[in-house]
Amino acid sequence: MVMSDGTNDAIGKEAGAEPRNGERRRGIDRVIMLLEALLRHRAPMRVGDIAKMIGAPRSTTYEIVNSLLDAEMLENVGGEGYVYFGRAMHLFGWAYSHHNAHYRRIIETLDKLAAETGETVQLCGLRGNKYVVLDCRDSPGPFRISSDVGVEVPIPWTASGRLLLGHMNEQELRDFIPSGDYKLPDGRIIAPAEFFADVALAHRQGFSETTALADRFTWCMAAPIRDGHGVIKRTLCLVLPVDTPEPRRDELLALLRERARGLSLAGG
């Protein structure tokens, strides 16, 4: 019989021992949750507040923050104890945008379309079951319509959402959209059946338009950008004053659809 003297257990508990796979996974998850928390908050936060937001022990959160500070992924900002994204995050974003040829083309199109039309131009997509503006060029006009990049918005409030969900059937839509997301900021309710019909229409016609949903002052139009498999993962959008004359809207929609087709990697 081989007797254990506990040596193996002791080795596993030594200071330099590698964490088990489950522990490592939880650590990675908490790093991701921390970065997501800062992105959602959109402003510097105290480490203690981050710990509460992600449901992690303060000691663990401080360890993660210190590691990210050392890597310049976070930096100390403002008052004592506040942290936010650091310059390394800028470098990651720069690398993505400058070494992704398709994204560079999208950025060039945003710039050009905004200059040509004088309107607010957006690149939009989904994060989970919410809509986000991924990039934006604001209108320079006197009636300035702007959007916050990265802020998550209920999908039924948007023209883009109706295109981005075109691959889903009605039951999938019911399961995907939280019931509370049909309520607009002013208290109006979008009937789910009406939204499902809008999604089907957008899928058939290849574009979507909405008016006075998220606010009562804007007319939104969206055209699909398809990936190499023909899937719509991004949209190109224009946000106009709600009183824009119909001939002007028709002209802008035709231009928007043309530019979106030029960005698509596959037909559809």
Amino acid at residue number 241: P
Q: What is the CA radius of gyration of the chain?
A: 23
Give residue-wise pLDDT tens across range 13-49: 334 444 555 555 577 888 999 998 888 888 899 999 9
The residue out of 24, 56, 86 marking a domain boundary is 86
The residue out of 86, 118, 153 marking a domain boundary is 86
Q: Which strands sit side by side in the sheet containing 82-85, from one edge to the other?
A: 45-46, 82-85, 74-76
Q: Are residues 55 and 131 in the same domain?
A: no
Q: Are residues 150 and 195 in the same domain?
A: yes
Q: Are residues 71 and 110 in the same domain?
A: no
Asked if the model's pLDDT at residue 160 lies above 50, the reply is yes
Q: Are residues 135 and 249 in the same domain?
A: yes
Give residue-wise pLDDT tens across range 77-95: 876 779 999 999 888 888 8
Cα dihedral sign for 28, 31, 37, 42? Answer: negative
Helix H or strand E encompassing 56: none
Asked if the model's pLDDT at residue 223 lies above 50, the reply is yes
Q: Are residues 70 and 117 in the same domain?
A: no
What CATH number corresponds to the domain at position 116?
3.30.450.40
Structural domain range at position 41: 7-86
Q: Confirm whether 22 is domain-assigned.
A: yes
Say how far apart CA 198 and CA 173 lie, in whole Å: 12
Say how far apart CA 188 and CA 215 lie, in whole Å: 11
Q: Are residues 146 and 174 in the same domain?
A: yes
Q: Are residues 55 and 127 in the same domain?
A: no
Write down the residue that tokens 């075109």 correspond to: 166
Q: What is the mean pLDDT of the chain?
A: 85
pTM: 0.72
- Segment 224-237 shows an average pLDDT of 92
Say how far apart CA 23 and CA 256 lie, in whole Å: 48
Minimum mean pLDDT among 55-69, 143-157, 201-215, 226-240: which range?
Answer: 143-157
Contacts of 168 (CB under 8 A, 6+ apart): 176, 199
Number of domains in the chain: 2
Q: Confirm whether 91 is domain-assigned.
A: no
What CATH number corresponds to the domain at position 36?
1.10.10.10
Q: What are phi and psi of 116, to 5 degrees?
A: -70, -40
Q: Confirm whether 268 is domain-assigned.
A: no
